[in-house]
């Protein structure tokens, strides 16, 4: 599935900007859109004229023009950048990115693995390829860094690593991101570090629109652990709506009758939708089936905002190590009576 | 109103599992659905093969099969269980329950009353009896433990009791649960206890999807105190939508004319909807009127996610003591001019 | 644009009630609606009979009747008042207000500027003038104190002032309110003050329904700083939906053809919607264009829940000082190649 988005340097989310507290940064922005734009440096403390609200803090950057932003970084944390011009449209089309400011003095304890996940939601009418920015509530694609499971990258860590995941959200909905197998602490927002005395333990970090959240934990439990949005429709792809509710309806007679006319007809949904993960239902062009992805035990029946944290004790690189090899006797087992 | 749900041991939410930190638990799951399922132990620290994501951590449990989950509890708090297979459907149909792990060392100060409320939202088309799991945003029934007010159980406590309410949410929306008459502290999540230094005082606890929240307070104010979701549509039942907006419209002429044809016709909504609580408007089969419930002073005009905390100084049991007897001169009074 | 709302003393939000901890307050409520009502004092600790849930704690206040509420204030903070009768309708029509209780002992450090913002969402069908309370998710107007930008009041402060902003929400959605140029602390809820050890730093305060949030910061950065809801549709007005998605569609041929029939016809949206801010598209009666407001550098392209924090070092009053005069060389600049 290919979608026509807008972004920065040819990608959405745009490239992650990394700098160090105290740095003076100069960023050149060339507008290659057909309409004007600006960039707002969300959460960054800077002079008012660099804040990027078109009309309020600066002139709009017209198509073809290049503007310079320059400021000194006076903080550290997980910030963002995005337009503040025609923003309902431009953010819905994919214009956004991380702006990571590292502390001057290294953090203690040291972070071994540091991940960034941008949360996004889109409405792409099946059969079309351009997101519709007029949609306010009824989205049909939900992505981590513009990808759906199993296209999302796994998070590979070594047993014992201290892990930080930075999550950012510029969509219309809060996304409660749930990690299996762990309790973690919420350690920061786009407003800065939360003091240890105020950090909440969670298994799910709720990320409201217009915020970032940093979470931290020590990867002390080996295995393949699901990491996903806990709004159940957000771990599905398109094609889950606009189908009649057939649960509990005996369709066997109907199926036979319709097959006289349409030999491929298939009654669905009588006992649930898990069949969707294995069937090859014909789809409109350029959309995605509701559920995708295979694991070591068969279809995972997920899509959308879903990936896997892979914790291993025997790896020498952070390349994808494949599926976890469960130790014998540690997997839920079937009772044979 | 009767709805065909899916659950555990014949109920939704399923039975509350209670165990103690350090216990080794063995749980047998027999699948009596017509499609496969699994159980994920949400927030419980356990071996990867017991985590219950079908396809990823274990094979699916096929219809008729029995699987064993076995693990040792290494924490305490308010956890949950739910399927991780066809989950958009199975959770929307009611498959979920509390998993309470009590601490090995009793908590100080002691909790006198401990309540569990599962938050749920459903779309049941009026006239039908099966929830529609394809609905993503436009639900029409909102329940505490699968019941709407006045079918919800009151929370009965003795004056001076230390009360904990554990609230869980696996629906698509955050639910801000508001308690009248009290300030409380948010003391825990499914990730564990929040240190006292980080606990927020609230009168409303916002519960995002995929989380639990524990709140605590000492019941030092006697009376009947409303406890409800503060999204105003969530304390109503079905039949509130798809009616034209008549506020401020003088319908008297229209009413007379239509009554020539339909003698039962009744113009509604001209001055608001409070009339809905007392009228007996004919409804489609198997749905609920918008507002239900009577209190000591007349109709309460609520439904959905609403119940009453009853704090009494003179009770010898925790059975429902009826309505609070207000002391003379303590009730808002009418001025007679 | 004029909307027929319901309120208190002729306004929505109603007048802000201010009192001091320890005060005994007596409030007379005369019902001038055509249906009954009550008032609930949200977050205020008081006797059960003064809590205002119609039917549960008191009789309904019938049209024309006057009721007395009387209680002693035993706390301080940011509370609210609103009906607890036909509440889905009455709150959607605008019945709500702040109830501020000041501490008996003045706070340290002293607050120099103290602002109140009530968050609201409405559905007013274009061409009509009465909010539709049956709408649950698809609102089209989003307001600060019942006004949209640029009708919203700016927040004027002196450089170095300690500022508190109290935000209240009785709508159906959480609103993440983002302040540019600053990190602030969340210092209180309608449940009371958050201890310093538990305060989170933020640039965006997420305000769930049925809650208030106090934020504080020292105004140490001069300039005009945007303050707005970060749900992107909430900084737009009506007329953004129900238009086809034309992004990337070449409409030039179509435009010419239609202009043969309709000379005023204008193809829109091909490159985005920023054109909406400058054009004078004919609108239905009594609605608002999607984007409104001009700044010192041209159209700001915002509406809805948007205003400006104006921080100045040279003011002798808190009247609107006009736009910030940027110092030379401090504004993002265009590169001329």
Write out the two tokens for B89: 């459907």
Mean predicted lDDT score pLDDT of chain B: 92
Q: How far, in Å, are A10, A137, B237, C9, C267 from residue C271 at the CA level?
A: 17, 23, 43, 47, 11
| pLDDT computed for residue A280 by the predictor | 58
Partnered with residue A189 across adjacent β-strands are: A192, A213
Query: Distance of alpha carbon C331 from its chain centroid, rounded?
Result: 29
Q: What is the largest CA-CA distance in chain C?
A: 75
Residues within 8 A of C (CB atoms), A 12-41 only: 28, 33-36, 38, 40
Which of A64-68, B194-198, B250-254 has the lowest average pLDDT?
Answer: B250-254
Closest CA to C53 of B296, B305, B269: B296
Residue B250 binned pLDDT confidence (cut-offs 50, 70, 90): confident
Residue A150, preceding peptide bond in cis (omega within 30° of 0): yes
Phi/psi at C201 (5° precision): -80, 140
Write out the two tokens for A322: 């494949």
Interface with B, mutate which of A245, A307, A335 (most B CBs under 10 A):
A245
Q: Do A271 and B34 touch (CB under 8 A)?
A: yes
Residue A289 binned pLDDT confidence (cut-offs 50, 70, 90): confident
Token match 């949609």: residue? A135
Q: Do B297 and C55 touch (CB under 8 A)?
A: yes
> Residue C293: closest CA among chain A residues belongs to which residue?
A55
Q: How far, in Å, are A295, B97, B184 from residue B19 at the CA level?
A: 32, 14, 26
Q: Which of A201, A223, A230 sits opposite B194 (nearest CB)?
A: A201
Grouping H, G, I as helix, E, B as strand and the rest as coil, residue B164 is: strand
Write out the two tokens for B137: 């945003």
Rounded Cα gap, residues C59 and C40, in angstroms: 13
Write out the two tokens for C267: 């193809």
> Residue C211: closest CA among chain B residues belongs to which residue?
B204
| pLDDT computed for residue C247 by the predictor | 76
Interface with B, mutate which of C4, C174, C208 (most B CBs under 10 A):
C208
HEC secondary structure over chain C: CCCCCCCECCECCCCCEEEECCCEEEEEEECCCCCCECCEEECCCCCHHHCCCECCCECCECCCCEEEEEEECCCCEEEEEECCCCHHHHHHCCCCEEEEEECCCCCCCCCCEEEEEEEEEECCCCCCCCCCCCCCCCCCEEEECCECCCCCCCEEEECCCEEEEEEEECCCCCEEEEECCCCEEEEEECCEECCHHHCCEECEEEECCCEEEEEEEECCCCEEEEEEECCHHHHCCCCCCCCCCCCCCCCHHHHHHHHHHCCCCCCCCCCCCHHHHCCCCCCCCCCCCCCEEEECCEEEEECCCEEEEEEECCCCCCCCCCCCCCCCCCCCEEECC
With 0-12 / 13-18 / 19 or more C-beta atoms within 10 angstroms meaning exposed / middle / buried, residue A58 is: buried
| pLDDT computed for residue A104 by the predictor | 97
List of residues 6+ apart from B262 with CB closer than 8 A = none
Q: Which residues of A touch B193 (CB under 8 A)?
A: 201
| pLDDT computed for residue C259 by the predictor | 73
Closest CA to C14 of C148, C145, C129: C145
Q: What is the DSSP string of A45-114?
A: ---GGGS--BTTTB--B-TT-EEEEEEE----EEEEEE--SSHHHHHHTT--EEEEEE-SSPPSSPPSEE
Grouping H, G, I as helix, E, B as strand and the rest as coil, residue B194 is: coil
CA atoms within 13 A on the CB side of A247: 24
Write out the two tokens for A135: 């949609």
Per DSSP bridges, beta strands A77-82 and A141-144 are unpaired
Rounded Cα gap, residues A110 and A104, in angstroms: 13
Q: What is the largest CA-CA distance in chain B?
A: 75
CB C175 within 8 A of CB C153: no
> Residue B307: closest CA among chain C residues belongs to which residue?
C56
C20 dihedral zone (left: phi>0; alpha: psi -120 to 50; beta): beta
CB B33 within 8 A of CB B88: no
Q: Compute and round to an integer the Cα radius of gyration of chain C.
A: 23
Residue B263 binned pLDDT confidence (cut-offs 50, 70, 90): low
Q: Which of C45, C47, C134 sits opposite B243 (nearest CB)?
A: C134
Say if residue A249's pLDDT is above 90.
no
Write out the two tokens for B304: 């959905």
More confident residue, B285 or A161: A161
Instruction: Indicate if ipTM > 0.90.
Output: yes
CA distance B214 to chain C (A): 15
Q: What is the DSSP string of B83-127?
A: --SSHHHHHHTT--EEEEEE-SSPPSSPPSEEEEEEEEEE---TT
Q: Do B56 and A224 touch (CB under 8 A)?
A: yes
Closest CA to A41 of A6, A5, A74: A74
Rounded Cα gap, residues A27 and C46, in angstroms: 56
Which of A46-55, A129-138, A169-178, C254-263 has the lowest average pLDDT?
Answer: C254-263
From the CB of residue B319, how many other CB atoms can be counted at a distance below 10 Å? 9
| pLDDT computed for residue A139 by the predictor | 95
Q: Do B301 and C54 touch (CB under 8 A)?
A: yes
User: What angle is formed at CA B166 by the lines to CA B164 and CA B169, rounded to 5 degrees?
Assistant: 160
| pLDDT computed for residue A263 by the predictor | 67
- Averaged in consecutive runs of 10 residues, what is the pLDDT profile of chain C (337 residues)? 95 98 98 97 98 98 98 98 95 97 94 98 93 93 97 97 98 98 98 98 98 98 98 87 70 72 66 68 77 89 96 96 95 92
CA atoms within 13 A on the CB side of B121: 25
Q: Which residues of A touch C246 (CB under 8 A)?
A: none
| pLDDT computed for residue A32 by the predictor | 97
Q: Which residues of C touch B200 (CB under 8 A)?
A: 189, 191, 194, 198
Residues within 8 A of B (CB atoms), A 224-283 only: 224-226, 230-233, 235-236, 240-243, 245, 247-248, 270-275, 277
| pLDDT computed for residue A242 by the predictor | 58
Which of A168-172, B252-256, C15-19, C118-122 has the lowest average pLDDT?
Answer: B252-256
Residue B13, preceding peptide bond in cis (omega within 30° of 0): yes
CB C173 within 8 A of CB C63: no
Rounded Cα gap, residues C207 and C138, in angstroms: 19
Across the range B34-60, mean pLDDT stands at: 98
HEC secondary structure over B243-295: CCCCCCCCCHHHHHHHHHHCCCCCCCCCCCCHHHHCCCCCCCCCCCCCCEEEE
Q: Which of A230, A233, A324 sits opposite B136 (nearest CB)?
A: A233
Residue A13, preceding peptide bond in cis (omega within 30° of 0): yes
Closest CA to A143 of A16, A273, A3: A3
Q: Do C206 and A174 touch (CB under 8 A)?
A: yes
Rounded Cα gap, residues C318 and C154, in angstroms: 10
CA distance C242 to chain A (A): 8
Rounded Cα gap, residues A186 and A199, in angstroms: 6
Q: Which residues of C touch A26 (CB under 8 A)?
A: none
Phi/psi at A182 (5° precision): -140, 150
Rounded Cα gap, residues A18 and B248, in angstroms: 57
Rounded Cα gap, residues A131 and C147, in angstroms: 31
Interface with A, mutate which of C274, C300, C326 (most A CBs under 10 A):
C274
Rounded Cα gap, residues B147 and B305, in angstroms: 8
Per DSSP bridges, beta strands A97-102 and A17-20 are parallel
> Residue A133: closest CA among chain C residues belongs to which residue?
C245
Chain B contact for A193 (CB, 8 A cutoff): no
Helix boundaries (H) for chain A: 87-92, 252-261
Query: pTM of the full predicted structure?
Result: 0.94
CA distance A198 to chain C (A): 4
Across the range B31-56, mean pLDDT stands at: 98
More confident residue, A271 or B281: A271
Q: Do B200 and C194 touch (CB under 8 A)?
A: yes
| pLDDT computed for residue B165 by the predictor | 98
For the stretch B182-209, pLDDT in tens is 999 999 999 999 999 999 999 999 999 9
Closest CA to A140 of A172, A178, A168, A176: A172
CB B209 within 8 A of CB A205: no
Residues within 8 A of B (CB atoms), A 143-182 only: 174, 176, 178, 180-182
Say if residue B36's pLDDT is above 80.
yes
């Amino acid at each position: 599935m290919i979608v026509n988005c807008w972004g920065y340097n040819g990608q959405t989310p745009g490239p992650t900007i990394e700098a160090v507290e105290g740095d003076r940064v100069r960023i050149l922005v060339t507008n290659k859109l057909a309409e004007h734009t600006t960039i707002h440096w969300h959460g960054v403390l800077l002079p008012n004229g660099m804040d990027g609200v078109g009309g309020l803090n600066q002139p709009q950057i017209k198509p073809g023009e290049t503007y310079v932003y320059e400021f000194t970084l006076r903080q550290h944390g997980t910030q963002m950048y995005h337009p503040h011009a025609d923003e309902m449209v431009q953010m819905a089309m994919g214009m956004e990115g991380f702006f990571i400011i590292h502390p001057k003095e290294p953090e203690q304890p040291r972070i071994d693995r540091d991940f960034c996940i941008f949360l996004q939601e889109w409405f792409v009418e099946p059969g079309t390829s351009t997101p519709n920015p007029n949609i306010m509530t009824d989205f049909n694609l939900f992505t981590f860094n513009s990808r759906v499971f199993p296209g999302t990258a796994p998070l590979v860590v070594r047993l014992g690593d201290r892990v930080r995941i930075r999550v950012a959200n510029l969509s219309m909905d809060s996304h409660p991101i749930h990690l299996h197998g762990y309790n973690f602490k919420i350690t920061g927002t786009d407003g800065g570090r939360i003091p240890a005395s105020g950090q909440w333990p969670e298994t799910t970090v709720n990320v409201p629109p217009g915020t970032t959240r940093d979470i931290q934990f020590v990867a002390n439990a080996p295995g393949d652990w699901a990491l996903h949005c806990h709004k159940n429709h957000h771990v599905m792809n398109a094609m889950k709506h606009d189908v009649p509710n057939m649960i509990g309806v005996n369709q066997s007679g109907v199926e036979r009758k319709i097959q006289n006319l349409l030999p491929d007809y298939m009654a669905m949904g009588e006992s649930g939708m898990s069949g969707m993960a294995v069937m090859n239902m014909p789809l409109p062009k350029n959309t995605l089936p509701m559920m995708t992805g295979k694991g070591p035990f068969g279809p995972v029946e997920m899509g959308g905002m879903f990936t896997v944290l892979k914790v291993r004790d025997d790896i020498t690189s952070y390349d994808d190590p494949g599926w976890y090899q469960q130790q014998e006797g540690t997997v839920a087992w079937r009772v044979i009576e």
